[in-house]
Structure 1
Amino acid sequence: MIFVDFPIYGPLRIPLLILEWIIAVISLELGIIFFMKYIKQPNQLRTSQELGFTSFCLCFSLMRFLLIIGDYFSSDIIVSPFLIWGSGSVRDLFLNFGYFSLLSGVFIFVFSIEKYKKYLFRKYFFTSCFFSLIILFLITFFFNLEVIRISLFIFGPLFLYFIALYLIDIFKKILNKENILIDLIKIFPEFLLLSIGFVFSTEYSVKLFGLEFRLFGSIVQLISFGLIFYFFIRLPSFSELDWQDKVEEILLLDKKSGLCAFYKSFINKDANITEVLMSGAITSVNIMLEELIPATDAKISVIEKKGKILNIFSSKFLTGVFISRDKLNSIIFYLKQFTEKVESLYQHVLVDWDGNIDIFYPVENIITELFSRK
């Protein structure tokens, strides 16, 4: 075992400081980038997932800054008593604050992801696990400053397992199924390198192998960290990843006559539904719209019925309906966009529509464009 004294001095102090400052600053900038990406979106397309990535990056950056203070500018001499503890050091205190910052960022990140999807056994399973770790940390923090280092061996594998499940889910949404394995293989080494770099940078590795391993670990972390978050920044908005898969049926209704001008089903594509049948099927919807929505207003309604969500947007001439499995703000946003686009193209026809649905067949092209990732 190699004896390494803290704070770190020697010929490797400056290179290590520069690398770890770069990692901390890049993390901070990535957090700002994710936050700017969040606020630049329309309100209906904003999701907590961008805020989850923001909190993770900012908390990771704060951890790196606190670890820099602890490892390079704080004494490791054990003092007894130390503040409210029986024994401890200034470095131990900064390490605890740093790891608690990381744990808090991971908790917010996991909660923001599980808010939209169930992973593993039940919804918020991983959130509950990390919340329990936070409570355990807060309890033990007031008794022993060194326990947090042990908790990392529980926290680390659990977080990596959640990330693996999340990545698989992401690839299923944005890629063809036959490409999932290939792209997972491409990005897996980046996470593996990040884990290896972090292990090499820990106090245990430094004591076993020396500061050279910490320097190597910092370089590996910097490279892998940049590659991983380059991947996430290139992703489309999280609200756009799978909203198309939630939509099952699309209807366009003429507000004046109540007739169905256009219908498309994604769950029963072979169904031959006539205008008369469809008009009868949506009569109750029209009645509700007449009661709730004045004829001259463009308004939005969301009705939940027997596990289905009726997303309704009423414009000047048309009422658009997206029937979906889940309630998503992005569905309302694109329903409004779709209805207004069709209405702008057919406005001259809708003023005095004679009930001929054949003229609306080109709407299929708009559907294809809107659902291009479906």
Structure 2
Amino acid sequence: MLQIPIERIPPLLRESIFPIEGLFREPLLILEGIIFLLTLQYGILFFYRFIKEEREKNYMIRAWGIFFLTYTGNVIFFMISDFFSPLSYAPLSYVRQIYIDFGYVTLGLGALFFSYNAEREIQQKNHIFSIILTILLCLLIVDTFALIVSPETLAVLTNLPFVLLLIIYIIKFTSKIKEKWRLNIYGFLVGICIWISGYFLITDIVVESFGPFARFIGDFLIIIGISLISLLFVGLPSLTEFEWPKKMKKVFLMYKSGEYIADYNFQKDLTGIEEFKDLPKLIAGGLTGINQLIAEIVQSKQKLRIMDYKDVKIIFQYGNYLIAAIIVDEALDIYKTKLKKLIDYLETLYETYLPTWDGNLTQFQIVKPIIKRFFTL
């Protein structure tokens, strides 16, 4: 059997407490079983969402799925190494270290795949984080067999660029949805910090120094961290909320009687498409009739909120005097929030004109740039 050179093993580790026995063994196995189930569940959930997407695929969803599944593999290898390895009977055995290294490599592969996709999403063309992770991961794989430096040191170095990129990515993309899900975003960032703290507490040097209780606290923190991280995704009706700017086509602003006031085109080629040429007339000129028809059918005073038109959806928002409508590929909650804020702002801005508006569009010349400001990042 291969042996780890004695000089490679820190003094604290030469009489190891692994495999963990005694009072903390069963509680730790339960906690780490929970971590296993949580990460496996999230990994499968992301893959399911990725497969179910009918239109343009969001490859970051798949990247999240792979990361959580590789983290599941990391948990499995660590559980085998620390609870079922024969190290207490052969303190210098290579067996446990092999399991630990496989755990680090598995997680590193998930981090690398995630990093590549994240850099592509944030348009980091040189992929510097992915390159650094690739180099460190290769060193970690070589070190698994060559025993050049401590694998824990390489694992920490591998995690640093990944965590930094993860924070950059989340800050950049949650800035698009922060209006409504601010609490979810803060929970995610706090969860990252708690998860990192918990992961540190389950390392060998901490467990050997402070005993299994440190690992118990670490596992507990990891569960809390993963749960807080999940708030960002569980709280969203769809992960496509991240991509709301790509799904907008056009915004229309009308008076409550249905008269056209202004519009802003997010896709410049929309007006050239034959099937959309009569859409402004349908929305502006026919809005009152559509609402009356809907009201008669369902015998309700509810106003039309969402309408399907060919391959797009039209979302309506109503104020005291103004009506706004946006043409989108998918009806996301964030559009309703933005339309409401736009109407509130314009009705305050034109509060002296709107009650007695006579159809003159002169005073609304600045509305188009205002619409652009409300719907661009």
Using the size of structure 2 for normalisation, the TM-score is 0.63
Q: Percent identity?
A: 23
Q: Distance in 2 between matches of 1:147 and 1:102?
A: 17
Q: Which residue of 1 aligns with 2:301?
A: none
The answer to whether the Cα contact below 8 Å between 2:251 and 2:327 also exists between their aligned partners in 1 is no
Matches within 5 A, 1:65-76: 65-76=76-87
String of CA shifts for 1:200-255, please: whole Å, max 9, x gaps.
1111101111111111111111122122123223335444423426868789xxxx
| Cα distance between partner residues in 2 of 1:19 and 1:9 | 15
Q: Which runs of 5+ in 1 are unaligned?
A: 81-86, 252-262, 268-307, 322-336, 344-361
Change (3 A) 1:22 1:340: closer
Q: 1:212 to 1:21 in 2, by over 3 A?
A: same
Does structure 1 residue 92 correspond to structure 2 residue 104? no
Q: Distance in 2 between matches of 1:153 and 1:342?
A: 47
What does 1:36-185 correspond to in 2, within 5 Å?
36-42=48-54, 44-76=55-87, 89-119=94-124, 122-144=125-147, 147-176=150-179, 185=186
Q: Could you tell me which residue of structure 2 aligns to residue 367 of structure 1?
A: 327
Is the 1:250–1:320 Cα contact (8 Å) retained in structure 2? no
Say which SS state the counterpart of residue 54 (structure 1) adopts. Answer: helix
Total equivalences in the alignment: 280
2:26 maps to which of 10, 14, 35: 14
Structure 2 letter corresponding to 1:117: I
The structure-2 alpha-carbon separation of the partners of 1:117 and 1:246, relative to structure 1 and needing over 3 Å to count, comes to: farther
Whether the 8 Å contact between 2:63 and 2:114 is mirrored in structure 1 is: yes
Deviation at 1:264, TM superposition (A): 4.5
1:64: Cα distance to partner? 0.2
* TM-score, L = length of structure 1: 0.63
Q: Per the alignment, do residues 31 and 366 of structure 1 end up closer, same or farther by CA in structure 2, a change over 3 Å counting?
A: same
Tell me, yes or no, if the aligned pair for 1:96 and 1:145 is still in contact at 8 Å.
no
Residue matched to 1:220: 221
Q: Secondary structure at the match of 2:325?
A: helix
1:41-95 Cα shifts (integer Å, max 9, x gaps):
21x2321111101101100001101110111111236979xxxxxx851101111
3-state SS in 1 of match to 2:146: coil
Deviation at 1:129, TM superposition (A): 1.7
C-alpha contact 2:250 2:326 (8 A) present in aligned 1: no
For 1:196, the aligned partner's letter is S
Q: 1:5 aligns with which of 4, 10, 17?
A: 17
Decide whether aligned partners of structure 1 residues 309 and 110 sit closer, same or farther in structure 2, where only a CA change above 3 A counts: farther
Partners of 2:326 and 2:110 lie apart in 1 by 41
Amino acid at match of 2:102: F
Structure 2 residue runs without a partner (length 5+) = 1-11, 253-261, 280-307, 315-321, 339-374
What is the RMSD computed on CA atoms of the aligned residues?
Answer: 3.9
Query: Cα offset for 1:166?
Result: 1.7
The corresponding residue for 2:196 is 195
CA distance in 2, matches of 1:342, 1:47: 20
1:50 and 1:11 map into 2 onto residues whose CA distance is: 40
Per-residue Cα deviation, 1:239-285 (whole angstroms, up to 9, x for no partner): 4423426868789xxxxxxxxxxx94458xxxxxxxxxxxxxxxxxx
